[in-house]
Amino acid sequence: MIIETERLWIRPFTWDDLAETMRQRSNPDVVRYLGGTAKQTPEFVAERLRFYMDCRARYGFSASPAIRKSDGVFLGWGGLQPLEDSGEIEIGYGFDKPYWGQGYATELAAAWLRYGFETARLARIVAVADPANAGSRHVMEKLGMRYEKNEIHYGTDCVCYAISREEFRPREGFYAVHEESKGGGEG
């Protein structure tokens, strides 16, 4: 399954994405709120990819590469996945630094929220972030998510946001889900 937006192909991770994912996760700015570069070992990044692929097989969705349609560049990643042991489904995203501030995170997250509510028929989706991560909090708020509380996730204090299917309002713009495989770039 591939999600298509105005500017992005969002396709499943493959092992071919490991090197680019490791490169992006080696940038201290990119992983500042993801445990820092010390946590982003080759073993950890490979385990994250395995987790994403397992989520895709189990739930039909997962964090996925965001590929720019115009040139096939792997910009970052994001998607839906279980939030630790909470039983909730979270939206998460991360982009390589050259692509910050261009609306890609909002475009990707909006597409995943729409998929989650319209296709996967989820009742509620949450998001967590480091309280200091103003960029991520801004994306959550632009998507209509509301702050609920602070709690510990991924070993750190997080702000927790949420949105229900009833509260969700799809954003304007092109959006499609393709069941067949598309080129879209391999990253």
**pTM reported for the whole predicted model:** 0.90
Q: At what angle do helices 134-142 and 104-114 cross, to 10 degrees?
A: 50
CATH for 2-122+172-177 is 3.40.630.30
Strand order through the sheet with 175-178: 146-153, 156-164, 124-129, 89-95, 74-82, 63-68, 8-10, 2-5, 175-178
Q: What is the model's pLDDT at position 184?
A: 44
What does the pLDDT profile of the chain (187 residues) look like in tens digits? 899 999 999 999 999 999 999 999 888 888 887 876 777 888 999 999 999 999 999 999 999 999 999 999 999 999 999 998 788 999 999 999 999 999 999 999 999 999 999 999 999 999 999 999 999 999 999 999 999 999 999 888 999 999 999 999 988 888 889 975 444 443 3
Look at the block and give the residue holding tokens 């105005």.
6
Continuous H helices in the chain:
18-24, 36-39, 42-59, 104-114, 134-142
Distance from C-alpha of 17 to C-alpha of 33, rounded to nearest angstrom: 22
